[in-house]
Amino acid sequence: MGKRTLSVALFAAMLTVAGCSGGASPSADETAAAPANPDDASGGITVLTNRTDLVEDGTMKKYADEFNKVYPKVKVTFEGLTDYEGEVKIRMNTEDYGDVLLIPSAVAKGDYPKFFAPLGDTSSMKETYRFTGKTDVAGKTYGIATFGTANGLVYNKALWKKAGISDWPTTTDEFLDDLKTVKEKTGATPYYTNFKDGWPLESPWTNGVGSISCDAQATDQLAATDEPWAEGSDLRTLDGLLFDMVQQKLTEKDPATTNWESSKTLLAKGKVGSMMLGSWAINQMRDAAEKADQNPDDIGFMPVPSQKDGKFCATLVSDYQQAVNIHSEHKEAARAWIDWFTEKSGYATKEGAVSVLKSEAMPATLQDYVDNDVQLIERSEAKTAEVNAIDNAAEIGLNKPDYRKKLIDMARGATDGSFESYIEELNKRWSEARQTVGS
């Protein structure tokens, strides 16, 4: 696997599962909470994961072996699913969707109590864990994040230095100028869209909402505006940057032939300058550098090129959330796994990601952010359900690749249209959708 270990489910979470009934209605016993840190958990549990790579290379088994030193009576079996979202959505029409699973983006937030066992009161859990608002329903938390990620751009520092650039750009215009310099002085592709794979045009870009305005509620506020792409807005700035990069020929020549796995090697070798991705990607790029006999320290991470009051900001968002199947016959064992994996496994640290535990420091992968006083803003999820309902009604897809693919095709002349006309259309569709949602 090795593609997005994070953030597939970040902005579009809470769409309704089509035809998802979850089997029979749960009984009173089935709706019992999954208690925290059970002392005497036992039984066999199945853990569903999107990390097929970690299942296949034995990494998950090593985690299970460590877990069994604490809970010897629990047998853990892993199922790595390549099309995680698609396969789990189908399985959730039954009661058989594992004991522990990553909450699919297709499940509406309000439906969490139908499918998952509550893990505790949000009021108390938020003191310990980040991102509890993501799965809070009526004061109960239904999932604990595997880790968090900061938004920004992964880039090849050696390549940028070769082009004579040492400082992070503070505006989108500066960034475009830097990309031109990279192209002129090194011959490298300044920016790589990963157009063909699609997903790099989803959450890595949409997660930037809040980083430009330095506003934790920026995403929530989309529910209250008729013009998300208004002049000066975060979305307009982000999508305008993408459009300009392509129009100014600062991206790959043929976006239809891009490839995610090979793009990591291209960036590691300095053949590509930068990509908009979450901080989860840093370690994957550094691993690619080692495999290509390149210096992993050449892989850097910079914030979105924009400042507020002289400071960079970056949104901090949740990865997939681990939850307990409400139909599980071994809820205590399932919860024991989630608690241990969150608090004791060291998974977030190994992935170079932000720990869900508030007591943990920022990972070494974000040391440049720490050193340069980049302000990390934990994104509010209070209005995510409303935002997604509007987005669905407008048929735009803020966390789908289609509308940004169309933007790229316009920018490269593959289809008719201008940035201004397209943005006007998006605003109109959003405004009309707002009038229908909840009415």
Residues of the chain above pLDDT 90, percent: 80
Lowest-pLDDT choice from 17-21, 49-53, 111-115, 332-336: 17-21
pLDDT of residue 325: 97
Tell me the pTM.
0.83
Superfamily classification of domain 151-316: Periplasmic binding protein-like II (3.40.190.10)
Closest-CA residue to 86 (of 136, 48, 114, 131):
48
- The residue ranges of every structural domain in the chain are 43-147+319-360, 151-316
- pLDDT for position 37: 62
Confidence band of 40 (pLDDT split at 50, 70, 90): confident
How many other CB atoms sit within 10 Å of the CB of residue 57? 11
Rounded Cα–Cα distance for residues 321 and 90 (Å) = 19
pLDDT in the model for residue 439: 52
Per-residue model confidence as pLDDT tens digits over 385-433: 889 889 999 999 998 899 999 999 999 999 999 999 999 999 999 999 9
Look up tokens 């071994």; give the residue.
Answer: 330
Q: What is the pLDDT of residue 13?
A: 36
Confidence category of residue 17, pLDDT binned at 50, 70, 90: very low
Q: Are 109 and 135 a contacting pair, CB within 8 Å? A: yes
Instruction: Label residue 35 by pLDDT band (50, 70, 90).
Output: low
pLDDT the model gives residue 329: 95
pLDDT 10s digits, 356-397: 999 998 899 999 999 999 999 999 988 888 898 899 999 999
Is CATH 3.20.20.80 the classification given to domain 43-147+319-360?
Answer: no
Q: For residue range 202-242, what is the model confidence (pLDDT) as tens digits?
A: 889 999 999 999 999 999 999 999 999 999 999 999 999 99
Whether the pLDDT of residue 2 is over 50: the answer is no
Which tens digits make up the pLDDT trace of 71-120?
A: 999 999 999 998 888 899 999 999 999 999 999 987 888 899 999 999 99
Q: Confidence class of residue 19 from pLDDT cuts 50, 70 and 90? A: very low
Mean pLDDT value of segment 291-307: 97
Please give the DSSP secondary-structure letter assigned to residue 16.
P
CA distance 11 to 385: 10
- b/e code 284-303 from CB counts within 10 Å (16+ = b): bbbbbbeeeebebebbbbbb
Residue 72: per-residue pLDDT: 96
Q: Do domains 43-147+319-360 and 151-316 have the same CATH topology?
A: yes
Say how many Å lie between the first and final Cα of the chain, rounded: 42
Q: Rounded distance, CA 172 to CA 408, Å?
A: 17
Instruction: Give the span between the Cα atoms of 184 and 66, in whole angstroms.
Output: 52
Residue 200 one-letter amino acid: P
Task: Write out the two tokens for 274.
Answer: 């930068």
Mean pLDDT for 249-265 is 95
